[in-house]
Amino acid sequence: MKDNVKVRIGVPEDIDAMMSLADRLLGENGLTTPNRLKVLNDIWGSLTKQNGVVGVIGGAPGEKLEAAILLKIEPLWYSDEESLIERAVFVDPDFRSAPGGRARKLIEFAKKTSDIMGIPLLIGIISSQRAASKVKMYERQFGEPSGAYWIYGKKTGEWDQPIAAE
């Protein structure tokens, strides 16, 4: 079977589809109440390549997306040098078991972007659901992890209001 899953660079016309993915992502992994304007501004800055880039899988610009990765270009808190910071990798539940390895393709896109830009990529998993299988996939892509992350006092996905409902 031919692998026809391709990652393309997101464009401003993808904003509505990205916000729809963000709704589902935050429904699964949201830790605290989202601010719709902050979400919109963060995504828009990357779709317009002002301070990041978005990799998307799906139809033509403006059509429904199957998956996306949101990457920001910014310095770490202690440096003036830029890094590529992954904000989110999300595959629509309807496409998680479909052939093509969408999550892997998005991770490969992030690695290639890091290589092209010549800056380090910081990427990780903040999820209380299916974390062990996600860690295994990331280890296959990156090797040994460089640390770990814990959340105290709450679990991801406990916040369950869609950000689009206003």
Predicted pLDDT of residue 151: 77
Residue 96, token pair as written in the block: 């998680």
CB atoms within 10 A of CB 38: 10
Q: Which residue has the higher pLDDT, 137 or 76?
A: 76
Calculate mean pLDDT across residues 52-57: 98
Calculate mean pLDDT across residues 37-61: 95
CB 40 within 8 A of CB 19: yes
Predicted pLDDT of residue 128: 64
Calculate mean pLDDT across residues 130-159: 78
pLDDT at 9 over 70: yes
Give the CATH number of domain 8-142: 3.40.630.30
Predicted pLDDT of residue 107: 95
> Which residue's structure tokens are 């660079």?
9
Tell me the three state secondary structure of residue 32: coil
Give the Å distances, CA to CA, from 31 to 27, 39, 43, 64, 155.
9, 14, 18, 25, 6
* pLDDT tens, position by position, 94-131: 999 888 899 999 999 999 999 999 999 999 877 766 76
Domain parsing of the chain, residue ranges: 8-142
Calculate mean pLDDT across residues 86-93: 94
- DSSP H or E stretch at residue 41: helix 36-47
Residue 14 identity (one-letter amino acid): D
Full strand arrangement of the beta sheet holding 65-75: 8-9, 52-58, 65-75, 82-91, 121-122
Predicted pLDDT of residue 159: 65
For the chain, the residue count is: 166
pLDDT at 161 over 70: no
pLDDT at 157 over 80: no
> Which residue's structure tokens are 């770490």?
76
> Which residue's structure tokens are 């935050």?
26
Residue 161 identity (one-letter amino acid): Q
